[in-house]
Amino acid sequence: MFEELSRDVLDPLLGAVAYSVVGIVLMVLGYLVTDWLTPGKLGELIWTERNKNAAVLLTSNVLGVGLIVVGAIWASEGGVVRGVVSTFVYGVIGLGAMAIAFLILDLLTPGKLGDILTDDELQPAVWVNAAMHVALGGVIAMALS
């Protein structure tokens, strides 16, 4: 009876909690990476100054990380611990790829991308960067399958 309860209820519950914690940690790391890449304080830009460019970029980062976490959960085998560790590792790889892509795009385009992102007027360059973040999240998620 206890074995059945553990297999049917407790194991999935433990997995949901563990993956949620890893997802939250990765999203916080994504926030910190985005904050590091943009001039000024990201929290102030979004919540105080209501900067749409910064909000679009952070949203795309969260979606990209979410795709990676979902892909890692989907592909995980061998128990919760192994799945959670691989989810964290792939999440960190995804965040690194997003940061590198941001820096490369900044080098390839006119102006400073960080400055464009903090502009009050909605900038098309932000949407390009946002699409890149979500696409990278999808690529890494599919690489797991």
Q: What is the pLDDT of residue 20?
A: 92
**Mean of all residue pLDDT scores within the chain:** 86
N-term to C-term CA, the chain: 34
5, pLDDT greater than 70:
no
Q: Could you report the per-residue pLDDT of 20-66, keeping only the tens digit for each?
A: 999 999 999 999 998 998 888 989 999 999 999 999 989 998 999 88
Q: Could you report the per-residue pLDDT of 101-122, keeping only the tens digit for each?
A: 888 988 888 878 778 888 888 8
Q: What is the pLDDT of residue 116?
A: 80
CA dihedral sign, ordered 132, 133, 134, 140: positive
Token output for 51: 């900067």
Give the global pTM: 0.82
Q: Could you report the per-residue pLDDT of 66-98, keeping only the tens digit for each?
A: 898 888 888 877 778 888 888 898 889 888 988
Place of tokens 């960190």: 92
Q: What is the pLDDT of residue 50?
A: 93
How far is residue 29's CA from residue 120's CA, in Å, rounded to a whole number?
25
Q: What is the pLDDT of residue 6?
A: 62
* Residues recorded for the chain: 145
Q: What is the pLDDT of residue 74?
A: 83
